[in-house]
Structure 1
């Protein structure tokens, strides 16, 4: 494979990073209120939220891509492939992050709530100063693992025309007839993107543990 071919593949790198970053950011933000709804004391809200999460997670991402891009994008609101993919992966990330947050929330011992009540802390201060920091620390490794998985899953966006690493790799492979060589390079690039995510996760977890230990 020539240097020019490598540069052609590399042009898809910013799109892959952008798609993964946007989707994960949407999920990290919207996943929190969805988790609160999932934990609501109102039974109807809990049931509806659980049904929504189950529905979104039950359907493969590629099917959602086709529904949004070829269905909604054609019949209702015209959207570019990138916007369609960002919406789909953002929604999927939201429900997955909600479950990750919920896992972090239920892992906190009941004694934390009891200690806060004994200190006469209000519900808001208990939640924001004690519960949420611990929840995020517990959720961080799972969130980082999901971010890496999301990075890999984003490659299927190439099926609707998002010009990411997978799309560029397929294009160069068809031009050069060197599929193994080309997709080996694409695979290495995905690994190289994943490594900083894992490293940042470990650093953030270390900092949070150090802060808690003080």
Structure 2
């Protein structure tokens, strides 16, 4: 039975948007933790660590996100790791995020004046103290606008989870389009949902960038 796209159908799309937000948050937090490790490896003294981190970043920046999600969802079961779609998509997005955030934060770390690092070492601080107390607070502040900008792209990237059957905003829109046969209205609503999620983040990123420029 064909239905019109009305308030109940819109509520279904909004319910999917809730999972979009949750998926984005999980992928960002997990990817951020791994991305920080990648950034530290990228700026380490060990050539092996730097090389390994560089290869890691190139893999995730040089391949499409969809292929990465397919690899996790279809490839890991071949290795004996059975994952449900939620876990597979979260892992795929987190790995993708770690490659980009690692490079963003690497730039922030290297933007901290070398003189501050040398002064901290002259005071007898070890590597851990230098990074935690001196470098990382400044590096994360410097790279915050780019980090928020990447989060916007990550939110939009969750739409690819629809191809694996996860019912987030895009998949909810697909289902409603199949029921109502009103794809223009349905996907206009889905687009507005993504716009409502991403616009505050975009404005925040621009505001942070202007504030950093004034301080600079």
For residue 34 of structure 2, the aligned residue among 30, 33, 38 is 30
Match of 1:59?
63
Q: Once the two structures are superposed, what CA deviation does each residue of 1:81-140 show, in whole Å capped at 9, x if it has no partner?
A: 11110000001111111101101011112222244356x251344322221111010110
Structural RMSD (CA): 2.5
1:40 to 40, 44, 48: 44
Matches for 1:129-208 after TM superposition, within 5 Å = 129-198=133-202
What is the Cα deviation at residue 57 of structure 1?
2.0
Distance in 2, matches of 1:87 and 1:100, equals: 20
Q: How many residues align?
A: 211
Could you tell me which runs of 5 or more consecutive residues in structure 1 were left unpaired when the two chains were aligned.
none
CA distance in 1, matches of 2:48, 2:129: 27
Which whole-Å CA distance do the structure 1 matches of 2:205 and 2:61 have between them?
Answer: 25
Alpha-carbon contact 2:142-2:212 (below 8 Å) kept: no
- Write the distance in 2 (CA, Å) between the matches of 1:188 and 1:107: 37
Call closer, same or farther: CA 1:195–1:53 in 2, change over 3 Å.
same
For 2:135 and 2:41, the matched residues in 1 are separated by 17
Q: Is the 8 A contact 1:137 1:205 kept in 2?
A: no
* Stretches of structure 2 lacking an aligned partner (at least 5 in a row): none
Tell me, yes or no, if the aligned pair for 2:68 and 2:96 is still in contact at 8 Å: no
Distance 1:72 1:26 in 2: 18
Q: TM-score, normalized by length of structure 2?
A: 0.87
Q: What is the CA-CA distance between 1:200 and the residue it aligns to?
A: 5.4
CA distance in 2, matches of 1:142, 1:11: 29
Once the 2 structures are TM-superposed, how far is the Cα of residue 30 of structure 1 from its aligned partner? 1.4
Residue matched to 2:75: 71
Query: Runs (4+) of structure 1 moved beyond 6 Å?
Result: 202-209
Q: Equivalents in 2 of 1:177, 1:6: separation in Å?
A: 14
Distance 2:41 2:90 in 1: 23
